Amino acid sequence: MTKVLVSDPIDQAGIDILSQVAQVDQRTGLSPEELKSIIGEYDALMIRSGTQVTADVIAAADKLRIVGRAGVGVDNVDVPAATQRGVLVVNSPEGNTIAAAEHALALLLSLSRHVPQAHASMRQGAWDRKKYVGNELYKKVLGVVGLGKIGSHVAKVAKAMGMEVIAYDPFVSLERAQQMQVRLTQLPDLFSTADYVTLHIPRTPDTENLVNAELLRSMKPTARLVNCARGGIIDESALAEAIENGVIAGAGVDVFASEPLAADSPLRSVEKGLVLTPHLGASTEEAQENVAIDVAEQIRDVLLGLPARSAVNIPGLSAQIMERLKPHLQLAETLGLLISQLAGGQVEELEVRLQGEFSEHPSQPLVVAALKGLLSNALGERINYVNAALEAKARGIHVLEVKDDSSRDFAGGSLQLTTRGGQGGHSVTGAVFADGELRVTTIDEFPVNVPPSRHMLFTRHRDMPGIIGHLGSVLGEHNVNIASMQVGRRIVRGDAVMVLSIDDPIPPSLLATISAIDGIQEAHPVTL
């Protein structure tokens, strides 16, 4: 008989769905060794954040077909190991959308009307009406950082409340923003203009401590900040100092860089203007039920031989096909991630061109992999192979697929991605060499031959003496080690591109110095 193991507390509604097709064993609080010893008996595993599904656990799971995470994050699942074993991993990326959006709105209202402070005052026997005079949201400017599903819902409700909404999201098209009646702007302008700012972005290397002391100082002294997204996006010490010194009026924070929030956190000592909640964004009865139902239905469908709708790894492909396409999928995702950082601004169209032998491969997985890479910086762990196309559509990104079997630039064919948008376009081409090594072969039509590395720097510059040496000296002065360098050009003394593989990321201050070098037209640090 088909068996499902539920190793974390799950809403009963999810258990009831699983019970329709399988024997369900609820065994919570298992140690890693206990889980490893019994997982071989089960066809499916349903978890939340408590269970660690390691490579060792997956290796011991001889019958396992699917792991279902009742929530968004899959940090506790070794997805590559699962994929290699042909185990599907699914999550519920939308189950807590409304809960998180409503909590952000609750913090906005609580901040404006001093609800927690007034309540505490009443509990102490006081009646301080004058002390807690608040502010209305009506006709105020709300800045939404990240217009995904949660941010979009917050914007929609804020519009209904009479707020003017501005937003920053490089991956949302102007057309989509206009449909939402939201004005797109750049991040510095958003922070300096908005009366309220709400964050709805993932924590990535690019967003870690994004809201720092400098950005806080750019806000109005009457402005308020809300974070129900991910901890670590805000410099918490800088935020505490900004509120205490009157740099901003207040903040509502639900998520923290380290959780639980330390007893000696500077945020705990802020006496006014700050509302703290213990990561309650998804903690509603409805959200817990929704994620349980969503994931349980996906597990049920997979056990019945049907496709899953929110797979984190590649759905609908056999292990043999997936193994054959693995380097090509990796290339597509890498090129998508690369071009998203080169584009920098709004992407309205993505052209995926499969050239030569690439055109003989199944195209849909390659297109989806490219979209996943393109949106990874914006959506982090929320993006996967199933929802990538939907997320792109929601952001107004038009996808154009082209097959060109006549192109013979490389023996194994090549893949070219081209972005177009309000700030122009970029293109990158890559190939898979015979040994499985990935190579970037063109950047904006300039020929190169570069294996992707973790940290890279791309420049476009005038082909003139001294620029390469000057850049190398600047990097050396800032203790940035160059692992490799390549220059590509089409004509002598025209424009050229330079690609450097470096050991460490480029800090913003150094990027400004690089961009100021005479002859350098563009400079793009890239993290892959």
Amino acid at 467: I
C-alpha radius of gyration, the chain, whole number: 25
- Closest to 342 measured CA to CA, from 522, 95, 99, 474: 522
**Contact criterion met (CB below 8 Å) for 290 and 92:** yes
Which residues lie closer than 8 Å to 358 by C-beta, 6 or more apart?
328, 366, 412, 413, 414, 415
CA dist 215 and 240 (Å) reads 14
Backbone dihedral region for residue 296 (phi beyond 0: left; psi -120 to 50: alpha; all else: beta): alpha
Residue 455 annotated to the active site? no
Residue 153 annotated to the active site? no
CA dist 416 and 20 (Å) reads 46
**Contact criterion met (CB below 8 Å) for 186 and 163:** no
CA dist 352 and 392 (Å) reads 14
CA dist 510 and 527 (Å) reads 16
Q: Is 352 helix (H, G, I), strand (E, B) or coil?
A: strand
Question: Within the chain, what is the greatest distance between any pair of CA atoms?
Answer: 82
CA dist 209 and 193 (Å) reads 20
Q: How far is CA 38 from the centre of its chain?
A: 34
CA dist 303 and 65 (Å) reads 8
- DSSP labels, 289-343: HHHHHHHHHHHHHHHTTPPPSSBSS--S--HHHHHHHHHHHHHHHHHHHHHHHHH
Cis omega (within 30 of 0) for bond into 188: no
CA dist 196 and 189 (Å) reads 13
Which residue is catalytic, options 153, 230, 395, 524? 230
CA dist 253 and 60 (Å) reads 41
φ, ψ dihedrals at 460, nearest 5°: -120, 130
CA dist 131 and 146 (Å) reads 34
Residue 300 annotated to the active site? no
- Closest to 394 measured CA to CA, from 375, 408, 380: 375
CA dist 34 and 56 (Å) reads 12
Q: Which residue has the tokens 């502010």?
A: 135
What are the angstrom distances between the C-alpha of 114 and each of 143, 380, 457?
A: 20, 33, 47
Which residue is catalytic, options 65, 183, 279, 489? 279
**Contact criterion met (CB below 8 Å) for 67 and 47:** yes
Active-site positions? 230, 259, 279
